[in-house]
Structure 1
Amino acid sequence: MSDLHTKLYMDSSLLNDKHLRKFFKYFFKKVLILSVSLLLLTVETSFGSTWGFWAHRRINRLAVFSLPPEMQYFYKKHIDYITENAVNPDRRRYAVVGEAERHFIDLDVYGDSALKILPKVWQAAVKKLGEDSLRKHGIVPWYIQTAAYQLTDAFKDKDSKRILRISADLGHYVADSNVPLHTTRNYNGQLTHQEGIHAFWESRLPELYAAEYDLWIGKAVYIENLTESIWSSVDRAHLASDSVFLFEKQLSEAFEPDKKYSYELRNNVLSRTYSQDFSLQYHSLLKGQVERQMKASISMVSDLWYTCWINAGQPDLSTLNDYIPDEKEKKAEAAEQRSWLQRLLHIRSESDN
């Protein structure tokens, strides 16, 4: 056999080697996941002032400063955890079955008298409408109640880890429940030929104007009736949805398409977005709606944390141990991140052949 034939034979043997194939498969999966992670980080940072990850983190962070001194000692010590983990529920939407419906409720599915028809307590709602139907159209007001009860129990048990985890999650769900477009099945204008309005309202507008918002809300207050307070908040958000759609449609009729949209460079990518002129006029028509809903979120988050602490008997939080994630928890978080990316990209686990 010639030297050339020998070399070709050896190369072919290497390529057919099972272990080598598995190595390349593993290697390229890692590269792909890392690339997507960097891409998602780039997307997040490029919209650093939006009602996306930024807003959820901001809402949780500002809510801490409205707590009484007895709670601030603990929450300020862990404010970075409360802030950074405010976005965990959004990440779980792609990784955990049953998570997505905790972020919204399609009130218009139940008609104009939805708030009179819908039982405010979960067990009664399930009995009347069935769990599958409820989950299909969103369960955010019911789940906020569940999370509040869980936080109260965590305070009673003086469990630092659960207090922080549930507090961060609760802040996220409350913020979502205060977004008008999280209370309607026409959540992105897809039913009224207004596609893109969701990101416009909760991303583009805060990106341009959040620096002007006054988000100080004063001190947290005790909520006498959690159920009624939660549902009233959702009701106010839903009532605001009419103007979200109406003003956008009216303004669109007055704008030529080339004036309504513009192109902006983000991280060296030219993206089509709503023009600054259109955004300014729309934001003015809303008369502070985005700012009001953001302030309502901060207030409700702080009030809920405070109420849960009161209902737990006002435990002394200064005696709680500092919470530092151990290696097991760090690995679990990393696994959750991988699961999120795998579901997002339909990537099989590394153990699959």
Structure 2
Amino acid sequence: MQRISRFFIRRAAFAVGLLLLLIGASGWGFFAHQKINRHAVFSLPPEMIGFYKQHIQYLTEKAVNPDKRRYVNKLEAPRHYIDVDVYGDSAVYRLPRYWKDAVAMYGEDSLHAFGVVPWHISMVKYQLTQAFLQRNSDKILRYSADLGHYIGDANVPLHTTENYNGQLTGQVGIHGFWESRLPELFFDDYDLWIGKASYIRNCQEAAWDAVTQAHEALDSVLRFERELTQEFSSDKKYSFEERGVSTVRVYSYEFSKAYHDRLNGMVERQLRRATKMVADFWYTAWIDGGQPDLEYLLIPAKVPEKLMVDEAVKLRRHESGTLVEQ
């Protein structure tokens, strides 16, 4: 009996630990990824919004599935970022926009070593277009949710650099700070209504435009945090909060507010850009997929996805259960 109890205790502890890892691992954080997908629905045209609103809960909840897959598929992690700075100065403007050209220049292994998010966005958009052509509601929903996630990640400045968690500049923890802590604290002040979805004539270029714009904001992300750290003592910069059954160290509200103010709306702007881009890509895939009548697809869709953790998969160090590494 004791052996059975210990078994279930270990399994429960593993489940809790996995949940904390997943929360710490998500690109924008679970909260922001879900907000992006949810708000994108309301920018769709009348021909699409009925279907998407019927399944808005699915699109919201499954916005984080790509992050969960990082623990079961070693090929998944590079789909969430691209370290453009490892390719040299101004690389974000010089890197090949199309996958075949990039493979010819660098090889697949090198590309995957430093991230492939702009190219993967184009791939998932193609998969969504095919799902519309096939009138397959399950695939439409799955690829819509996935596409929203990757687009969200492409709009995060720290997803465009080798210094993704400030580990190269003595700013460890900034990844979760910028993309999780700030949106959770200040989201109620944001406006994510971004107007009507628009057709994108070149989705591959649009994905690269997002990465380029995000990368251009990287200097401010790092510099402002570094400047404020000089103005705050350690006990003012950090505080402690209860997260489930754990007490974790986080950036204090005062430091977060000062950083958020100095960023001058950057987090909200990136959320808005991501939301608009998601709506535009969904709409473009529907147009390219023959503009099917989605009323015939207004049925409960079953999109099961079983995810089994592979403990051999290694992830980047910022993907931990706390917002600040100690």
Normalised TM-score (structure 1): 0.82
Native 8 Å contact 2:32 2:180 kept in 1: no
2:318 equivalent to 1:340: no
1:123 aligns with: 100
1:278-289 correspondence to structure 2 within 5 Å:
278-289=255-266
Structure 2 CA distance for partners of 1:321 and 1:278, relative to 1, 3 Å: closer
AA paired with 1:200?
Answer: F
1:149-188 correspondence to structure 2 within 5 Å:
149-188=126-165
Secondary structure of 1:265 counterpart: strand
1:13 aligns with: none
- The separation in 2 between residues aligned to 1:117 and 1:74, in whole angstroms, is 40
AA paired with 1:131?
Answer: E
The structure 1 residue matched to 2:253, chosen from 276, 294, 297, is 276
2:13 equivalent to 1:35: yes
- 1:270 is displaced (CA, Å) by 3.0
- 1:43 is displaced (CA, Å) by 8.2
By relative contact order (CA 8 Å, sep 6+), the higher-ranking structure is: 2
- 1:340 is displaced (CA, Å) by 2.2
Structure 2 CA distance for partners of 1:95 and 1:40, relative to 1, 3 Å: closer
Deviations 1:227-252 (A, max 9, x none): 11111111000111100000011111
2:187 equivalent to 1:218: no
AA paired with 2:289?
Answer: A
- The separation in 2 between residues aligned to 1:275 and 1:203, in whole angstroms, is 13
2:212 aligns with: 235
Structure 2 CA distance for partners of 1:341 and 1:243, relative to 1, 3 Å: same
- The separation in 1 between residues aligned to 2:72 and 2:19, in whole angstroms, is 18
- 1:321 is displaced (CA, Å) by 5.6
Secondary structure of 2:250 counterpart: strand
1:189 aligns with: 166
- 1:208 is displaced (CA, Å) by 1.4
Native 8 Å contact 2:31 2:180 kept in 1: no
> How many pairs does the alignment contain?
312
AA paired with 1:210?
Answer: F
Native 8 Å contact 1:33 1:341 kept in 2: no
- The separation in 1 between residues aligned to 2:90 and 2:311, in whole angstroms, is 41
Secondary structure of 1:340 counterpart: coil
- The separation in 1 between residues aligned to 2:313 and 2:208, in whole angstroms, is 32
AA paired with 2:10?
Answer: L
AA paired with 1:215?
Answer: L
- The separation in 2 between residues aligned to 1:161 and 1:214, in whole angstroms, is 30
Aligned-residue sequence identity (percent) comes to 53
1:78-157 correspondence to structure 2 within 5 Å:
78-157=55-134
- Cα RMSD of the aligned pairs, angstroms, is 2.4
AA paired with 1:33?
Answer: R
Moved more, 141-150 or 111-120: 111-120
Normalised TM-score (structure 2): 0.89
AA paired with 1:173?
Answer: Y
Native 8 Å contact 1:145 1:227 kept in 2: yes
Structure 2 CA distance for partners of 1:183 and 1:215, relative to 1, 3 Å: same
- The separation in 2 between residues aligned to 1:240 and 1:150, in whole angstroms, is 30
1:290 aligns with: 267
Q: Which runs of 5+ in 1 are unaligned?
A: 1-19, 346-353
- The separation in 2 between residues aligned to 1:277 and 1:172, in whole angstroms, is 30
Native 8 Å contact 2:54 2:298 kept in 1: no
Native 8 Å contact 1:161 1:323 kept in 2: no
Structure 2 CA distance for partners of 1:116 and 1:203, relative to 1, 3 Å: closer
- 1:183 is displaced (CA, Å) by 0.5
The structure 1 residue matched to 2:43, chosen from 66, 72, 93, is 66
Deviations 1:122-150 (A, max 9, x none): 01100111000000000000000000011
- The separation in 1 between residues aligned to 2:31 and 2:246, in whole angstroms, is 21
- The separation in 1 between residues aligned to 2:39 and 2:295, in whole angstroms, is 20
Structure 2 CA distance for partners of 1:287 and 1:36, relative to 1, 3 Å: same
Deviations 1:306-353 (A, max 9, x none): 00111112111111262432xxx65x52xx1xx2275689xxxxxxxx
AA paired with 1:230?
Answer: A
AA paired with 1:81?
Answer: Y
1:11 aligns with: none
- 1:37 is displaced (CA, Å) by 2.6
1:246 aligns with: 223
Deviations 1:67-88 (A, max 9, x none): 0010011111111111111111
- The separation in 1 between residues aligned to 2:313 and 2:183, in whole angstroms, is 26
Structure 2 CA distance for partners of 1:343 and 1:132, relative to 1, 3 Å: closer
